[in-house]
């Protein structure tokens, strides 16, 4: 007698779901793209993930790995219809803001806006876009109804 599973297995070939709303489709691509650049920044100790890795020691290393895994894992799990992937994606989308606040908090010479944006207007546009896509009502409704 076989045991019936309520959840499907993850399909390692499914990296994108065309049946999702357009907001989640674009968010998935941005997650993969940001995940690639986060991985490169983690390896070469650049950008905010690299700065956290260098300045915060073992905790920065763990946080950096968590952020990279959240970007890639969030996109993959969302493509496979998993609600936990949506939560990973939300964490990944907000992680650049949180990293900058964490790293720049001891420095009084930076204002709150500079700490949130990292003084990078072009980069913060894409970060805000990813957050907006994930928090859009179509995305939230789709994950609430269809994700397991």
Model confidence over 68-123: pLDDT tens digits?
Answer: 999 999 999 999 999 999 999 999 999 999 999 999 888 878 888 988 998 888 99
* Average pLDDT rounded to a whole number, residues 135-148: 95
| Neighbour tally for 67: CB within 10 Å | 24
The chain-wide mean pLDDT, for the chain, equals: 91
pLDDT at residue 119, as a whole number:
85
For the segment 15-46, what is each residue's pLDDT rounded down to a tens digit? Answer: 999 999 999 999 999 999 999 999 999 999 88
The model's pTM is: 0.89
Q: What are phi and psi of 136, to 5 degrees?
A: -60, 145
Q: Do 52 and 103 form a contact (C-beta atoms < 8 A)?
A: yes
């Amino acid at each position: 007698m076989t045991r019936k599973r309520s959840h499907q297995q993850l399909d390692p070939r499914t990296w994108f779901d065309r049946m999702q709303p357009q907001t989640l489709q674009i968010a998935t691509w941005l997650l993969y793209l940001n995940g690639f650049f986060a991985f490169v920044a983690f390896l070469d100790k650049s950008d905010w993930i690299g700065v956290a890795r260098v300045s915060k020691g073992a905790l920065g290393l763990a946080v950096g790995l968590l952020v990279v895994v959240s970007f890639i894992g969030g996109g993959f799990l969302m493509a496979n219809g998993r609600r936990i992937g949506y939560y990973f994606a939300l964490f990944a989308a907000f992680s650049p803001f949180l990293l900058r606040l964490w790293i720049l908090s001891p420095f009084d010479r930076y204002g709150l806006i500079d700490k949130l944006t990292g003084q990078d207007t072009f980069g913060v546009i894409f970060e805000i876009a990813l957050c907006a896509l994930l928090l859009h009502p179509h995305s939230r409704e789709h994950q609430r109804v269809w994700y397991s």
